[in-house]
């Protein structure tokens, strides 16, 4: 009888799953509020925890803009708040769903894949296209490229990476990944652009003679696919949170270094939900296990995000600076100088907590502290479009060109400091 009851209730649960909560994009607005005082910034910050709101872009310096997503049913109340607090603002888009639909139409009218199996960099690829690109690269350039199967996502997708190497053993290595946050499409195309530069441009062969490179274009494939098929602004993993109508965990708050200490939420509906425990997500476990398995060789970690134009380094849990703060800052400055030669784009440089916000449990903090990688960065690429993450596909190549020059600086530094010709 007990077994029958268990099966009965299990069947009812499957037949009547909890309806997932997703903030409606129809009629939702994105506001750009100008920071004119600490008090005004402090008044806005609490909205990051309120249902129906999300802060898409933060600001720390007076004159910066804070970008806030607000659902249609909260628009009147939020505009009253802005007026009452004398906060200057503009509206980036008065209907996020319309902006998403316009982006989707552009995607349909462009091809992300060229006839030779390589990415076109004129549209944002789906995950299958990224995988095909990695397979084709490993096949076409088997002399330097090796496809890596890093494990399965929560929904069973293989998380793939690509190793670029001229051969040899025990060479210092650089680890580069994107799309830990699924809606940040420009990071996927940028990491893929880096790979393309390695396999197609003979002028870059010097970069992998004395060091190895590991690339993971999409660390969160479930979330990434979900942004293409269901909900464009999805940020987290897609794991079911028992007892909640909200799914997913913020992968960049789920790492085991001062997990849940500050700058993370215990609310499963929040976009910064850190999960029930550190490394609860298979996607963060995949990165952890890969770093630990290659701890003797990985010397530099670059986690690409968007948006905001930042080179960030540890720590996220404290404003105390790491022992090698000057090295981290100087190296990022050199990368920024190189990137700026393309069209003058500049990035803000600093530790996560001092340059942006508190964020404990982030990947770059853990990779440095738990993985022993002294040079660990979070790179926030630029945004664009109407809601920040819809940066036009016409920007894929320019952003890729800029970012690759920065990547080259990072690589040359590792080659000089740790390089070997074994």
Q: For residue 140, give both structure tokens.
A: 């076409």
The kind and range of the H/E element at 89 are strand 89-93
> What does the alpha-carbon distance between residue 403 and residue 201 come to, in Å, rounded to a whole number?
15
**Is pLDDT of 369 > 60?**
yes
What are residue 376's phi and psi, to 5 degrees?
-135, 125
Q: Are 149 and 158 in contact (CB under 8 A)?
A: yes
User: How does strand 212-216 pair with strand 173-178?
Assistant: parallel
pLDDT at 12: 30
Domains of the chain: 29-94 (3.30.70.340), 107-418 (3.40.630.10)
pLDDT at 420: 56
Share of residues in the chain with pLDDT > 90 (%) = 84
Residue with tokens 């040359």: 412
**Is pLDDT of 16 > 70?**
no
Give, in order, the Cα–Cα distances in Å from 227 to each of 67, 80, 130, 190. 20, 31, 15, 17
b or e along 72-102 (b: 16 or more beta carbons within 10 Å of the residue's beta carbon)? Answer: bebbeebeeebeeeebebeebbebbeebbee
Q: Are 321 and 329 in contact (CB under 8 A)?
A: no
Spatial neighbors of 295 by CB under 8 A, at least 6 apart, are: 371, 372, 373
> What does the alpha-carbon distance between residue 399 and residue 383 come to, in Å, rounded to a whole number?
10
pLDDT at 419: 78
Residue with tokens 């199996």: 117
> What does the alpha-carbon distance between residue 215 and residue 207 come to, in Å, rounded to a whole number?
14
> Can you tell me the mean pLDDT for 87-98?
96
**Is pLDDT of 3 > 50?**
no
**Is pLDDT of 14 > 50?**
no
Chain segment 343-361, per-residue pLDDT in tens:
999 999 999 999 999 999 9
Q: Are 157 and 221 in contact (CB under 8 A)?
A: yes
Catalytic-residue membership of 154: no
**Is pLDDT of 114 > 80?**
no
Residue with tokens 């002028």: 203
Angle between helices 221-229 and 185-200 (to 10 degrees): 120
Residues in the chain: 422
Q: 384 forms bridges with which residues in the sheet?
A: 388, 389
Alpha-carbon dihedral sign for residues 236, 278, 219, 381: positive
pLDDT at 11: 37
**Is pLDDT of 4 > 70?**
no
Chain segment 328-343, per-residue pLDDT in tens:
999 999 999 999 999 9
Q: Which DSSP category does 73 fall into? A: G
> What does the alpha-carbon distance between residue 252 and residue 356 come to, in Å, rounded to a whole number?
14
Q: Are 361 and 252 in contact (CB under 8 A)?
A: yes
Q: Strand order of the sheet with strand 89-93?
A: 53-57, 65-70, 29-34, 89-93
Q: Are 410 and 327 in contact (CB under 8 A)?
A: no
Spatial neighbors of 254 by CB under 8 A, at least 6 apart, are: 274, 275, 278, 279, 280, 281, 284, 361
Residue tagged active-site, from 154, 283, 380, 402: 380
Q: For residue 180, give both structure tokens.
A: 């830990």
Q: What is the mean pLDDT of the chain?
A: 92
> Can you tell me the mean pLDDT for 100-124?
85
pLDDT at 228: 97
Alpha-carbon dihedral sign for residues 255, 259, 262, 267: positive
């Amino acid at each position: 009888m007990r077994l029958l009851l268990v099966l009965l209730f299990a069947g009812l649960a499957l037949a009547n799953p909890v309806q997932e909560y997703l903030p409606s994009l129809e009629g939702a607005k994105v506001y750009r509020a100008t920071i004119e005082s600490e008090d005004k910034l402090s008044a806005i910050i609490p909205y990051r925890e309120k249902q129906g709101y999300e802060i898409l872009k933060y600001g720390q310096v007076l004159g910066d803009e804070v970008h806030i997503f607000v659902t249609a049913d909260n628009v009147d109340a939020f505009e009253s708040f802005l007026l009452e607090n004398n906060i200057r603002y503009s509206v980036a888009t008065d209907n996020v769903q319309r902006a998403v639909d316009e982006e989707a139409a552009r995607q349909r009218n462009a091809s992300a894949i060229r006839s030779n199996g390589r990415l076109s960099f004129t549209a944002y690829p789906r995950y299958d296209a990224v995988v095909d690109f990695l397979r084709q690269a490993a096949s076409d350039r088997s002399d330097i490229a090796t496809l890596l199967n890093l494990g399965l996502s929560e929904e069973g997708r293989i998380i793939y990476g690509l190793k670029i190497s001229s051969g040899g053993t025990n060479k210092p290595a650089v680890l580069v990944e994107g799309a830990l946050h699924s809606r940040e499409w420009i990071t996927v195309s940028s990491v893929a652009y880096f790979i393309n530069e390695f396999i197609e441009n003979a002028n870059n062969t010097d970069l992998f003679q004395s060091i190895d490179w590991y690339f993971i274009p999409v660390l969160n494939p479930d979330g990434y696919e979900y942004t293409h098929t269901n909900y464009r602004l999805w940020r987290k993993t897609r794991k079911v949170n028992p007892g909640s109508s909200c799914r997913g965990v913020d992968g960049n708050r789920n790492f085991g270094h001062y997990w849940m200490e500050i700058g993370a939420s215990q609310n499963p509906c929040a976009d910064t939900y850190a999960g029930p425990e550190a490394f609860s997500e298979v996607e963060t476990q995949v990165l952890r296990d890969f770093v630990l398995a290659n701890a003797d060789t990985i010397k530099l970690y670059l986690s690409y995000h968007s948006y905001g134009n930042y080179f960030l380094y540890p720590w996220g849990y404290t404003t105390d600076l790491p022992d090698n703060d000057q090295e981290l800052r100087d190296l990022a400055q050199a990368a920024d100088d190189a990137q700026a030669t393309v069209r003058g784009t500049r990035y803000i440089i600093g530790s996560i907590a001092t340059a942006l916000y508190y964020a404990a449990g982030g990947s770059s903090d853990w990779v440095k502290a738990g993985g022993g990688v002294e040079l660990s960065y979070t790179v926030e690429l630029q945004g664009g479009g109407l809601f920040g993450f819809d940066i036009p596909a016409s920007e894929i190549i320019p952003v890729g060109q800029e970012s690759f020059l920065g990547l080259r600086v990072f690589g040359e530094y590792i080659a000089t400091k740790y390089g070997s010709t074994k």
